[in-house]
Amino acid sequence: MDLLDYAWAGVLAVFQGPVLFSIFGLSISATIAMVLFGFLNGIFVGATPGLGGPMAMAISLPILISIFGFSSDALLPVMGCLIGIMKGATVGGAVPAILFNTPGTPDAYLTTLDGYPMAKRGEARRALKVAHFSSASGDTFSDLVLILCAPFLATLVERYLDLPEKTALLILSLSFIAAVIGGSVAKGLLSAGLGIFVAAIGTGEDFYPRLSLGTDMLAQGFPAVAVILGVLILGEVFRGLEDLARSGYGRPTLPGHAPPGPPGNDKIRHLPWQDRRPLLPHIARSAMIGTAVGALPGIGSTLAATLGHAAGKRRHARKAPDARAFGTGAPEGIAATEAANSAVSGANLIPVLSLGIPGNAAAVFLILAADSIGGFNPGPAVFRYNQDAVNPELIIAFGLFATMLLANLINWTVGGTVMRSMAIMTRIPKHILLPVVLMLTLTSIYVQETRMAALWFVIGFGILGYVMRRLDISPLPFVIAFILGGRLEETARQAYAATGNDPFFLATSPISAIFVVMSISVIVLAQYRRPTTAS
Amino acid sequence: MKPLLKRLVAAFGVSVMATAGIAADWTPPGPVKLMIGFRAGGGADTQARLIAEDLETRLGWKIIPEQVTGKGGLTLATALAEAPADGTVIGMLVTESLGYNMAAAKTPLTPADFTALTTTASFQMGIVAPASKGWTAWDQMISAAKDGTPIRFGVMSPKLADLAYLLGQSQGVDFNIIEVKGGKAVLDGVTAGDMDVGFMAGIQTNGVAAGDLVNLASAMSRPLKQTPEAPAIADLGVPFDADGYFVFVAPKGLPDEAKTAMSEAIAQIVNDPESKAGTMIGKAFGGPAVISGDDLQTLLQDGYDAAGGLLEAASE
């Protein structure tokens, strides 16, 4: 099979895969239905302040697995649904930002600066259309870059990197993630180190279970789903509950929640071309910034939005001094922000698919899905096609690309309409939302793990996640290090053995030596950057 | 029973319980959890999942496959030993897990803590190199090693690491032995150029047929079916071998009717060359190898008892 055959097989796997149901003799593929379901769900959670894409992905993953099972047929429907949620949430985040000055997702904060002033002028509908147009454009661009780059990068890695270099590359990614995520380098390293430590429990090459304190409960290691959902989701819920308790229960809406603008007198049906044209340069610039930022693991969409907005602001002030400035309700401001934060979602799958390294929470859940179901191990081996045997992983990879393009198609066609109907979500009070999330998370973990120990683990890691948040330590390096810890150990052991037990295997080849030097310098250099908030 | 199947079974010199049909009077009291001791995506995992699928379609049993990997199958064995012995939890391992690995790990568990159900196939354990290396026979690799080329030898278990070490000793070369998880990882490593040669237990069949891979030697007491001319490990001066089977086991104390029903159901599926699992086993492992009942229980115990010899030889 050559590459085009694989691409076509991937598309067929999406459209002719397992059938969910059929109406009037027309069978509906489960993957298509799940992408649509995930996308609508994503807009829904994105538009709900306090919820977000990662949270929805986390809760739905175990439920989806229990529906679709562990066979490799389940990969595309489950991962398609998660991708749909990821994309939908990016679009949905702009809704409350524009209408109520409350970002639905953290990366939509900058959308409030221009979106809410537009809504106050009575141009809410127009602002939403601008946000959707920019978001969908940025997202589509980013996906195309992913599809072109990931196979290329993976082939490059396979061809030129030997075991010591692969080890060094993992070390570099971990140190980069620890250095750039969160408030300080020390806290990032602490978080990542803790993640590697937890990954070391109950694993390892020896027959004796490591660090298990002689207990059977720890001998199997921690179930990945309990660790990740505990730290990322329960930690967030616990912190939300405490915030709620401090600010007094039962407040109907969130603090900082502004009244909605006057009812729209801008009953435009389509955004006219003369409105779209001035947005295009901003969208193009921000899409490129977002894609570049997304391709680096760990930086995330908030920084992409900040950079996109700042670049757009400078340019806008110089090129169009007479137009409305950024921050006073300029549609260009919304475009620059939304295109940038949406362009992150496709590009952050570049390191996932080509190297197996997750860069943000959404990618963490995609890797978790692949690990739990089995039959697809994201990494450079996926894109190998020089054998005569069919490589089923490559078909899945192209299937994933097809689901992303499908999600974009849904976004372009119905996304805008659905998005504009989501204003109601902002009114859900947190004291109802958080317990529901808590219960859903615990239920979904029990569904997948079916042992009580998993629930104790998840609550334990939830408390850890809460403490980390209180100490302003980002939990994301912890989770990513937890996922990569096993691979790092394995690759390092293999590199050591392969070089004839050379303890300095990281320093002997030029490429790995460069990676190690880069790992150290990224830590050193990050000390001098100005502090940013955790994303 | 079909004559073809009889021949296959006879060819392996193993006994199969007479099966007039699958014992219909026993059905599992609920969904059956099938613990799989191998990484997802490899040959063993595929085999287990296909058997699960065939069990579901043929008998209507609900099978839930689950990966329980690590510690050379001992993670699975430990979990399985504590599971209820009512037919709701079974596991798929290799005989090595209950033999060498269990003995080497010094766990309190022995094969007597499990009910042996049936084996499905034997390994076609070859020592395999990529064709791109240019070696067509074992001696060419050894002379390359003696000329100073470092040889990276991929193995997927501590037992095989011991065998590779002993092979190096007997041939007078030092291999750089890389232990990875599962035969698929060895295949990936050899294909990607991270390893020069490695043990593969059947996953190499397609690659060898296509000319991408070469079976340099058999790691078994008998020749490889695909490459009968390759020397066996005993010919290379190592008095141990990597003979082994994929095996289904249940916790100790499984009622006899459940034991019979389950082992017969699995044996029928793997013995049927038309079933999905049977087709796959025919392709990857050269046909089924079914041993069940007391014979299997004895085989497992013998493997456990014999593990000491290899452990001693390799630690000298």
Residues A150-170: tens digit of each pLDDT: 988 888 888 888 899 999 999
Pick among B57, B159, B176, B195 to test the A interface (most A CBs inside 10 A): B176
Given this model, what pLDDT does residue B33 score? 93
Write down the domain spans for chain B: 3-123+244-314, 126-236
Given this model, what pLDDT does residue B22 score? 44
Give Cα A518 to chain centroid, integer Å: 25
Chain A positions touching B39 (Cβ under 8 A) are 374
Given this model, what pLDDT does residue A22 score? 66
Distance from CA of B1 to the nearest CA of A (A): 31
Taking alpha carbons only, the member of A512, A461, A463 closest to residue A482 is A461
Spatial separation of the C-alpha atoms in residues B214 and B210, rounded to whole Å: 10
Distance from CA of A384 to the nearest CA of B (A): 9
Given this model, what pLDDT does residue A197 score? 95
Distance from CA of B200 to the nearest CA of A (A): 16
Contact B253, B259 (CB under 8 A): no
Distance from CA of A497 to the nearest CA of B (A): 5
3-state secondary structure of A80: helix
Would you give the DSSP letter of residue B231?
Answer: P
Q: Find the Cα–Cα–Cα–Cα dihedral B1, B2, B6, B9, rounded to 10°.
A: -90
Q: How confident is the model at residue A25 (pLDDT cuts 50, 70, 90)?
A: low
Is A106 inside any structural domain?
yes
Residues above pLDDT 70, as percent of chain A: 92
Is A531 inside any structural domain?
no
CATH code for the domain defined by B126-236: 3.40.190.10
Nearest CA in chain A to B206: A389
pLDDT at A339 over 90: yes
Distance from CA of B216 to the nearest CA of A (A): 19
Higher pLDDT, A372 or A522: A522
Taking alpha carbons only, the member of A94, A81, A103 closest to residue A33 is A81
Given this model, what pLDDT does residue B214 score? 94
- pLDDT (tens digit, 9 = 90+) per residue, A74-132? 889 999 999 999 999 888 888 888 888 887 777 888 888 999 899 888 888 889 999 99
Mean pLDDT over A282-297 rounds to 91
Q: Superfamily for B3-123+244-314? A: Bordetella uptake gene, domain 1 (3.40.190.150)
Spatial separation of the C-alpha atoms in residues B260 and A322, rounded to whole Å: 86
Nearest CA in chain B to A217: B79
Chain A interface includes B67 (CB < 8 A) = yes
Given this model, what pLDDT does residue A261 score? 52
How many Cβ atoms from other residues are within 10 Å of residue A443's Cβ? 13
Is A532 inside any structural domain?
no
Given this model, what pLDDT does residue A252 score? 46
Q: How confident is the model at residue A415 (pLDDT cuts 50, 70, 90)?
A: confident
Pick among A68, A70, A212 to test the B interface (most B CBs inside 10 A): A70
Given this model, what pLDDT does residue A269 score? 66
Q: How confident is the model at residue A338 (pLDDT cuts 50, 70, 90)?
A: very high
Sign of CA dihedral A224, A225, A230, A231: positive
Is A535 inside any structural domain?
no
Given this model, what pLDDT does residue A184 score? 87
Is A114 inside any structural domain?
yes
pLDDT at A250 over 60: no
Instruction: Report how many helices (DSSP H) and strands (DSSP E) chain A contains, helices first.
Output: 25, 2
Please tell me the least confidently modeled range out of A24-33, A236-245, A248-257, A404-413.
A248-257
Q: Which of B41, B104, B191 sits opposite A207 (nearest CB)?
A: B104
Stated pTM of the model: 0.84
Please tell me the least confidently modeled range out of A283-287, A431-435, A527-531.
A527-531
pLDDT at A9 over 50: yes
pLDDT at A18 over 80: no
How many degrees, rounded to 5, is the angle at CA B167 between CA B165 and CA B169?
A: 70
Given this model, what pLDDT does residue A319 score? 84
Tens of pLDDT, residue by residue, chain B (316 residues): 456 655 555 544 443 343 334 445 789 999 999 999 887 767 788 899 899 999 999 999 999 888 888 788 888 998 899 999 999 999 999 999 999 999 988 788 999 999 999 999 998 899 999 999 999 999 999 999 999 999 999 999 889 999 999 999 999 999 999 998 888 889 888 988 889 999 998 888 888 988 889 999 999 998 998 999 999 999 999 999 899 999 999 999 999 999 999 999 999 999 999 998 999 888 888 889 999 999 999 999 999 988 888 888 888 7
Is A299 inside any structural domain?
yes
Given this model, what pLDDT does residue A389 score? 65
Nearest CA in chain B to A161: B194
For B149, the token pair is 């080329």
Q: Which of B106, B158, B207 sits opposite A387 (nearest CB)?
A: B207
A392-422: buried (b, 16+ CB within 10 Å) or exposed (e) per residue? bbbbbbbbbbbbbbbbbebbeeebbebbbeb
Is A355 inside any structural domain?
yes
Domain that holds residue A290: 3-526
Domains B3-123+244-314 and B126-236 share a fold: yes
Taking alpha carbons only, the member of A372, A43, A347, A160 closest to residue B40 is A372
C-alpha pair distances (Å), A376 with each of A422, B204, B294 = 35, 20, 38
Please tell me the least confidently modeled range out of A296-305, A328-337, A401-410.
A296-305
Mean pLDDT over A481-493 rounds to 92
pLDDT at A24 over 90: no
* Residue B251 φ/ψ region, left for φ over 0, alpha for ψ in the -120 to 50 degree band, beta for the rest: beta
Chain A interface includes B234 (CB < 8 A) = no
Taking alpha carbons only, the member of A146, A155, A79 closest to residue A380 is A155
Distance from CA of B177 to the nearest CA of A (A): 6
For B156, the token pair is 């997927």
Q: Which of A220, A377, A500 sits opposite B41 (nearest CB)?
A: A377
Given this model, what pLDDT does residue A387 score? 56
Query: Using beta carbons and an 8 Å cutoff, which residues of A are at the interface with B?
Result: 69-71, 158, 162-163, 202-203, 205-209, 216, 219-221, 373-377, 380-381, 384, 387-389, 393, 490, 493-494, 497-501
Q: How confident is the model at residue A1 (pLDDT cuts 50, 70, 90)?
A: low
Taking alpha carbons only, the member of B159, B99, B106 closest to residue B304 is B99
Is A186 inside any structural domain?
yes
Given this model, what pLDDT does residue A464 score? 96
Spatial separation of the C-alpha atoms in residues A469 and A243, rounded to whole Å: 12
The total number of structural domains that make up chain A: 1
Given this model, what pLDDT does residue A164 score? 92
Q: Find the Cα–Cα–Cα–Cα dihedral B158, B163, B165, B170, rounded to 10°.
A: 170
